[in-house]
Protein backbone atom coordinates (compact mmCIF):
# COMPACT_ATOMS: atom_id res chain seq x y z
CA UNK A 1 0.00 0.00 0.00
CA UNK A 2 1.41 3.34 -0.91
CA UNK A 3 1.65 6.21 1.51
CA UNK A 4 -1.04 8.25 -0.23
CA UNK A 5 -3.46 5.39 -0.37
CA UNK A 6 -3.58 5.34 3.41
CA UNK A 7 -5.52 8.64 3.33
CA UNK A 8 -9.14 8.08 2.39
CA UNK A 9 -10.40 10.66 -0.17
CA UNK A 10 -13.23 11.86 2.02
CA UNK A 11 -10.70 13.00 4.63
CA UNK A 12 -9.04 15.38 2.11
CA UNK A 13 -12.31 17.06 1.22
CA UNK A 14 -13.58 19.82 3.49
CA UNK A 15 -16.98 19.39 5.01
CA UNK A 16 -19.77 19.79 2.42
CA UNK A 17 -21.31 22.74 4.24
CA UNK A 18 -18.05 24.64 4.24
CA UNK A 19 -17.38 23.85 0.59
CA UNK A 20 -20.83 25.00 -0.30
CA UNK A 21 -20.30 28.23 1.63
CA UNK A 22 -17.03 29.02 -0.15
CA UNK A 23 -18.52 28.25 -3.54
CA UNK A 24 -21.57 30.39 -2.90
CA UNK A 25 -19.36 33.19 -1.69
CA UNK A 26 -17.20 33.06 -4.80
CA UNK A 27 -20.24 32.81 -7.07
CA UNK A 28 -21.62 35.86 -5.33
CA UNK A 29 -18.38 37.77 -5.79
CA UNK A 30 -18.19 36.93 -9.48
CA UNK A 31 -21.81 37.81 -10.12
CA UNK A 32 -21.91 40.95 -7.99
CA UNK A 33 -20.59 43.43 -10.59
CA UNK A 34 -23.03 42.23 -13.23
CA UNK A 35 -25.99 42.06 -10.87
CA UNK A 36 -25.15 45.47 -9.44
CA UNK A 37 -24.70 46.93 -12.92
CA UNK A 38 -27.96 45.51 -14.16
CA UNK A 39 -29.79 46.62 -11.05
CA UNK A 40 -28.46 50.16 -11.36
CA UNK A 41 -28.54 50.64 -15.10
CA UNK A 42 -31.33 48.34 -16.27
CA UNK A 43 -33.85 47.42 -13.60
CA UNK A 44 -33.84 50.72 -11.71
CA UNK A 45 -34.40 52.80 -14.88
CA UNK A 46 -37.18 50.42 -15.93
CA UNK A 47 -38.92 50.87 -12.60
CA UNK A 48 -38.25 54.62 -12.65
CA UNK A 49 -39.67 54.82 -16.16
CA UNK A 50 -42.78 52.89 -15.10
CA UNK A 51 -43.34 55.28 -12.21
CA UNK A 52 -42.52 58.40 -14.25
CA UNK A 53 -45.20 57.51 -16.78
CA UNK A 54 -47.73 58.61 -14.16
CA UNK A 55 -46.02 61.88 -13.34
CA UNK A 56 -45.39 65.22 -14.99
CA UNK A 57 -41.70 66.05 -14.61
CA UNK A 58 -39.52 68.60 -16.39
CA UNK A 59 -36.28 67.88 -14.45
CA UNK A 60 -36.31 71.35 -12.92
CA UNK A 61 -39.52 71.31 -10.90
CA UNK A 62 -40.65 68.55 -8.53
CA UNK A 63 -42.53 65.65 -10.20
CA UNK A 64 -46.30 65.95 -10.04
CA UNK A 65 -48.59 62.90 -10.00
CA UNK A 66 -51.04 63.04 -12.91
CA UNK A 67 -52.44 59.51 -13.02
CA UNK A 68 -53.21 58.38 -16.55
CA UNK A 69 -53.10 61.92 -17.97
CA UNK A 70 -49.90 61.23 -19.94
CA UNK A 71 -51.51 58.24 -21.64
CA UNK A 72 -54.66 60.21 -22.37
CA UNK A 73 -52.56 62.99 -23.89
CA UNK A 74 -50.78 60.50 -26.14
CA UNK A 75 -54.08 59.43 -27.64
CA UNK A 76 -54.72 63.07 -28.60
CA UNK A 77 -51.22 63.69 -29.97
CA UNK A 78 -51.10 63.26 -33.76
CA UNK A 79 -47.30 63.15 -33.78
CA UNK A 80 -47.24 60.16 -31.46
CA UNK A 81 -49.88 58.38 -33.53
CA UNK A 82 -48.00 58.99 -36.77
CA UNK A 83 -44.68 57.98 -35.24
CA UNK A 84 -46.05 54.60 -34.16
CA UNK A 85 -47.58 54.02 -37.59
CA UNK A 86 -44.26 54.96 -39.21
CA UNK A 87 -42.43 52.59 -36.88
CA UNK A 88 -44.73 49.69 -37.72
CA UNK A 89 -44.43 50.38 -41.45
CA UNK A 90 -40.69 50.64 -41.09
CA UNK A 91 -40.50 47.33 -39.21
CA UNK A 92 -42.54 45.50 -41.85
CA UNK A 93 -40.51 46.77 -44.80
CA UNK A 94 -37.07 46.82 -43.18
CA UNK A 95 -37.31 43.37 -41.56
CA UNK A 96 -38.60 41.69 -44.73
CA UNK A 97 -35.80 43.30 -46.73
CA UNK A 98 -33.17 42.61 -44.11
CA UNK A 99 -34.02 38.92 -43.74
CA UNK A 100 -34.65 38.46 -47.47
CA UNK A 101 -31.35 39.99 -48.52
CA UNK A 102 -29.44 38.22 -45.75
CA UNK A 103 -30.90 34.81 -46.66
CA UNK A 104 -30.31 35.35 -50.36
CA UNK A 105 -26.72 36.39 -49.81
CA UNK A 106 -26.05 33.53 -47.39
CA UNK A 107 -27.52 31.00 -49.87
CA UNK A 108 -25.40 32.42 -52.68
CA UNK A 109 -22.28 32.16 -50.54
CA UNK A 110 -23.06 28.50 -49.89
CA UNK A 111 -22.89 27.84 -53.61
CA UNK A 112 -19.62 26.96 -55.32
CA UNK A 113 -17.25 29.88 -54.86
CA UNK A 114 -13.53 30.47 -54.46
CA UNK A 115 -12.70 30.41 -50.73
CA UNK A 116 -11.00 33.81 -50.85
CA UNK A 117 -14.06 35.30 -52.48
CA UNK A 118 -16.29 33.77 -49.82
CA UNK A 119 -14.14 35.25 -47.05
CA UNK A 120 -14.06 38.61 -48.80
CA UNK A 121 -17.83 38.76 -49.27
CA UNK A 122 -18.51 37.56 -45.74
CA UNK A 123 -16.34 40.36 -44.33
CA UNK A 124 -17.80 42.90 -46.73
CA UNK A 125 -21.39 42.12 -45.78
CA UNK A 126 -20.59 42.22 -42.08
CA UNK A 127 -18.43 45.35 -42.21
CA UNK A 128 -21.23 47.99 -42.10
CA UNK A 129 -22.43 46.51 -38.81
CA UNK A 130 -19.26 47.52 -37.00
CA UNK A 131 -19.60 51.15 -38.10
CA UNK A 132 -21.37 53.72 -35.97
CA UNK A 133 -24.94 54.24 -37.18
CA UNK A 134 -24.60 58.01 -36.69
CA UNK A 135 -21.41 58.20 -38.78
CA UNK A 136 -22.94 56.10 -41.55
CA UNK A 137 -26.03 58.29 -41.54
CA UNK A 138 -24.02 61.53 -41.75
CA UNK A 139 -22.09 60.08 -44.67
CA UNK A 140 -25.28 58.91 -46.38
CA UNK A 141 -26.84 62.30 -45.85
CA UNK A 142 -24.18 63.82 -48.07
CA UNK A 143 -24.53 61.00 -50.59
CA UNK A 144 -28.28 61.56 -50.92
CA UNK A 145 -28.25 65.37 -50.92
CA UNK A 146 -30.58 66.54 -53.66
CA UNK A 147 -28.31 69.24 -55.08
CA UNK A 148 -24.81 68.03 -54.37
CA UNK A 149 -25.06 64.33 -53.54
CA UNK A 150 -23.16 61.61 -55.35
CA UNK A 151 -26.31 59.56 -55.93
CA UNK A 152 -28.06 62.28 -57.92
CA UNK A 153 -24.83 63.02 -59.77
CA UNK A 154 -24.64 59.38 -60.87
CA UNK A 155 -28.29 59.47 -61.90
CA UNK A 156 -27.68 62.64 -63.89
CA UNK A 157 -25.05 60.78 -65.94
CA UNK A 158 -27.82 58.59 -67.32
CA UNK A 159 -30.22 61.48 -67.74
CA UNK A 160 -32.36 60.95 -64.64
CA UNK A 161 -33.36 64.24 -63.00
CA UNK A 162 -32.41 64.97 -59.39
CA UNK A 163 -34.51 63.07 -56.84
CA UNK A 164 -35.36 64.83 -53.55
CA UNK A 165 -34.14 61.86 -51.53
CA UNK A 166 -34.29 63.48 -48.12
CA UNK A 167 -36.97 66.10 -48.65
CA UNK A 168 -39.90 64.17 -50.10
CA UNK A 169 -41.97 61.89 -47.85
CA UNK A 170 -41.74 58.69 -49.89
CA UNK A 171 -38.11 59.03 -50.99
CA UNK A 172 -36.91 59.94 -47.49
CA UNK A 173 -38.66 56.91 -45.97
CA UNK A 174 -37.07 54.74 -48.65
CA UNK A 175 -33.60 56.14 -47.90
CA UNK A 176 -34.00 55.55 -44.17
CA UNK A 177 -35.02 51.93 -44.80
CA UNK A 178 -32.23 51.46 -47.32
CA UNK A 179 -29.52 52.79 -45.04
CA UNK A 180 -30.84 50.80 -42.07
CA UNK A 181 -31.03 47.54 -44.03
CA UNK A 182 -27.61 48.06 -45.62
CA UNK A 183 -26.07 48.48 -42.20
CA UNK A 184 -27.92 45.70 -40.40
CA UNK A 185 -28.40 42.80 -42.77
CA UNK A 186 -24.86 41.55 -42.06
CA UNK A 187 -25.88 40.16 -38.68
CA UNK A 188 -28.80 38.13 -40.04
CA UNK A 189 -26.53 37.07 -42.88
CA UNK A 190 -24.00 35.57 -40.46
CA UNK A 191 -26.75 33.73 -38.57
CA UNK A 192 -28.12 32.27 -41.80
CA UNK A 193 -24.67 31.36 -43.04
CA UNK A 194 -24.04 29.39 -39.84
CA UNK A 195 -27.38 27.63 -40.09
CA UNK A 196 -26.91 26.74 -43.76
CA UNK A 197 -23.43 25.36 -43.07
CA UNK A 198 -24.87 23.03 -40.45
CA UNK A 199 -27.33 21.33 -42.80
CA UNK A 200 -25.99 17.84 -43.60
CA UNK A 201 -25.02 17.55 -47.24
CA UNK A 202 -26.71 14.15 -47.45
CA UNK A 203 -30.10 15.77 -47.11
CA UNK A 204 -29.55 17.94 -50.15
CA UNK A 205 -28.10 14.97 -52.06
CA UNK A 206 -31.14 12.87 -51.18
CA UNK A 207 -33.42 15.69 -52.28
CA UNK A 208 -31.53 15.91 -55.57
CA UNK A 209 -31.99 12.17 -56.10
CA UNK A 210 -35.70 12.60 -55.47
CA UNK A 211 -35.81 15.33 -58.08
CA UNK A 212 -36.26 18.24 -55.70
CA UNK A 213 -34.02 21.05 -56.90
CA UNK A 214 -33.98 24.85 -56.88
CA UNK A 215 -36.88 26.56 -55.10
CA UNK A 216 -38.54 23.22 -54.29
CA UNK A 217 -35.46 22.02 -52.45
CA UNK A 218 -35.02 25.38 -50.72
CA UNK A 219 -38.63 25.61 -49.51
CA UNK A 220 -39.04 21.94 -48.53
CA UNK A 221 -35.59 21.07 -47.22
CA UNK A 222 -33.43 24.10 -46.53
CA UNK A 223 -35.99 26.49 -45.08
CA UNK A 224 -37.52 24.02 -42.58
CA UNK A 225 -34.04 23.05 -41.41
CA UNK A 226 -32.98 26.64 -40.77
CA UNK A 227 -36.38 27.72 -39.44
CA UNK A 228 -35.14 27.97 -35.81
CA UNK A 229 -32.47 30.41 -37.01
CA UNK A 230 -35.05 32.29 -39.05
CA UNK A 231 -37.11 32.65 -35.88
CA UNK A 232 -34.16 33.98 -33.86
CA UNK A 233 -33.07 36.31 -36.66
CA UNK A 234 -36.58 37.68 -37.15
CA UNK A 235 -37.14 38.23 -33.41
CA UNK A 236 -33.87 40.14 -33.15
CA UNK A 237 -34.49 42.08 -36.36
CA UNK A 238 -37.99 43.13 -35.29
CA UNK A 239 -36.90 44.22 -31.82
CA UNK A 240 -34.03 46.21 -33.31
CA UNK A 241 -36.20 47.80 -36.01
CA UNK A 242 -38.85 48.82 -33.48
CA UNK A 243 -36.15 50.84 -31.74
CA UNK A 244 -34.79 52.57 -34.86
CA UNK A 245 -33.49 56.05 -34.05
CA UNK A 246 -30.07 57.00 -35.45
CA UNK A 247 -30.83 56.76 -39.14
CA UNK A 248 -34.02 58.86 -39.26
CA UNK A 249 -32.67 61.30 -36.66
CA UNK A 250 -29.49 62.08 -38.58
CA UNK A 251 -30.72 61.64 -42.14
CA UNK A 252 -34.03 63.50 -42.04
CA UNK A 253 -34.63 64.58 -38.43
CA UNK A 254 -37.99 62.87 -38.76
CA UNK A 255 -39.06 64.89 -41.78
CA UNK A 256 -40.29 66.03 -44.12
CA UNK A 257 -43.29 66.60 -41.92
CA UNK A 258 -43.50 63.53 -39.73
CA UNK A 259 -42.89 61.09 -42.56
CA UNK A 260 -39.81 59.47 -41.00
CA UNK A 261 -40.44 60.23 -37.34
CA UNK A 262 -40.30 57.04 -35.27
CA UNK A 263 -41.49 56.15 -31.78
CA UNK A 264 -38.01 56.29 -30.24
CA UNK A 265 -37.41 59.69 -31.85
CA UNK A 266 -40.55 61.01 -30.15
CA UNK A 267 -39.35 59.55 -26.84
CA UNK A 268 -36.03 61.39 -27.26
CA UNK A 269 -37.66 64.65 -28.31
CA UNK A 270 -40.23 64.52 -25.52
CA UNK A 271 -37.68 63.77 -22.82
CA UNK A 272 -34.51 65.57 -23.74
CA UNK A 273 -35.74 68.47 -25.85
CA UNK A 274 -39.21 69.22 -24.53
CA UNK A 275 -38.55 68.07 -20.95
CA UNK A 276 -41.67 65.96 -20.77
CA UNK A 277 -40.22 62.94 -19.04
CA UNK A 278 -43.64 61.62 -18.01
CA UNK A 279 -44.87 61.61 -21.58
CA UNK A 280 -41.63 60.07 -22.81
CA UNK A 281 -41.90 57.31 -20.22
CA UNK A 282 -45.50 56.63 -21.22
CA UNK A 283 -44.47 56.28 -24.87
CA UNK A 284 -41.59 54.04 -23.81
CA UNK A 285 -43.97 51.87 -21.85
CA UNK A 286 -46.29 51.49 -24.83
CA UNK A 287 -43.34 50.64 -27.07
CA UNK A 288 -42.14 48.01 -24.57
CA UNK A 289 -45.58 46.43 -24.48
CA UNK A 290 -45.63 46.45 -28.28
CA UNK A 291 -42.23 44.75 -28.47
CA UNK A 292 -43.29 42.12 -25.92
CA UNK A 293 -46.57 41.49 -27.77
CA UNK A 294 -44.87 41.12 -31.15
CA UNK A 295 -42.22 38.79 -29.72
CA UNK A 296 -44.86 36.67 -27.95
CA UNK A 297 -46.82 36.46 -31.18
CA UNK A 298 -43.73 35.34 -33.05
CA UNK A 299 -43.03 32.55 -30.58
CA UNK A 300 -46.69 31.52 -30.69
CA UNK A 301 -46.59 31.33 -34.48
CA UNK A 302 -43.26 29.53 -34.37
CA UNK A 303 -44.99 26.43 -33.03
CA UNK A 304 -46.55 26.01 -36.43
CA UNK A 305 -43.71 27.09 -38.66
CA UNK A 306 -40.48 26.24 -36.88
CA UNK A 307 -39.06 22.75 -37.30
CA UNK A 308 -36.71 21.47 -34.60
CA UNK A 309 -34.61 18.43 -35.53
Partner 1 sequence: MTSEETPGHRPPSHSLRSSSTLSQLTRRSMLGLAGIAVAGATVGAWPRLTGTDIPGRGSKALNIAILGTAADAAGRQGLIQAFTAAHPDIPVQLQAIQGADWKDFFSKILTMVAAGTPPDVVYVATEGAQLFADKLAEPLDAYIRRDGDEVSDYFGDVHPSLLEAFMYQGSLYQLPLDWNAANMYLNTTTFAQAGLDRPKDDWTKDDFSATLKALRKARPTDFTPYYWTNRLFGGVVPWLYANDTSFLSETKAPGGDWLWDRFYPNDPARATRGGGYQWLTPNAEDGRVVETFDYLRELVAEGLGVRPESGGGNALVGLFGNNRIGTTPAGGYWAQGLHEAGMTADQFDVQFFPRWRTQRHQFGAAGYAIMRTAKDKDAAWEWVKFCSTREAMQLAIPKPNTTPTRRSMVNESFYAATGPRHWKVFYDTLDRFPTSGPIPAPPQQAAVETALMKNVSTAVSGSSADVRTAMGNLQRDLELALRRNS
**Contact residues for partner 1 (CB under 8 A)?**
3, 6, 11-14, 18-19, 22, 26, 29-30, 56, 58-61, 77-79, 142, 145-148, 164, 166-169, 253-258, 261, 269, 272-276
- Rounded CA separation 235/215 (Å): 25
Please state, in angstroms and as integers, the Cα–Cα distance from residue 162 to each residue in 25, 146, 179, 254, following that order: 67, 6, 19, 21
- Complex with partner 1: residue 11 or 158, whichever CB lies closer: 11
Minimum distance between the CB of residue 243 and partner 1, rounded to whole angstroms? 20
For residue 5, the minimal CB distance to partner 1 (Å) is 10
- Cβ 1 to partner 1, closest distance in Å? 8
Report, in Å, the least distance between residue 50 CB and partner 1: 18
Closer to partner 1 at the Cβ: 61 or 309?
61
Nearer to partner 1 by Cβ, of 194 and 257: the residue is: 257
Nearer to partner 1, 18 or 216 (CB): 18
In the complex with partner 1, which residue's Cβ is closer, 172 or 302?
172
Name which of 107 and 146 has its Cβ closer to partner 1: 146
Shortest approach of partner 1 to residue 284 CB, angstroms?
17
The string of DSSP codes covering 224-288 is HHHHHHHHHHHHHHHHHHHT--HHHHHHTTT-STTTT--HHHHHHIIIIIS--HHHHHHHHHHHH
Q: CA 115 to CA 183: how far, in whole Å?
A: 24
Which sign does the torsion angle of CA 116, 135, 181, 191 carry? Answer: positive
Asked if 129 and 183 count as a contact pair (C-beta separation under 8 A), the reply is: yes
CB of 197 to partner 1, least distance (A): 34
Residue 17 CA, chain-centre distance (Å), reads 45
Contact 169, 256 (CB under 8 A): yes
Alpha helices, H only, 57-168: 69-76, 78-110, 115-130, 133-143, 150-157
Q: What is the dihedral of CA 233, 40, 50, 238, to 10 degrees?
A: -10
Minimum CB separation of residue 13 from partner 1 in Å reads: 6
Nearer to partner 1, 87 or 229 (CB): 87
Amino acid sequence: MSATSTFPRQIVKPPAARRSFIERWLVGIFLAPTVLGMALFTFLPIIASLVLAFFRWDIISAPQFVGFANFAALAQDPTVRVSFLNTIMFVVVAVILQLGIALTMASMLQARMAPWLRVFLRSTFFFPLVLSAASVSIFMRYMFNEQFGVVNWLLSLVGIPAVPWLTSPVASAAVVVLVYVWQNFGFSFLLFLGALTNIPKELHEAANLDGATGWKQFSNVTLPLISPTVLVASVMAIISALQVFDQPYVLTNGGPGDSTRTAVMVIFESAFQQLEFGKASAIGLILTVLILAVTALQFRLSRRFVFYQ
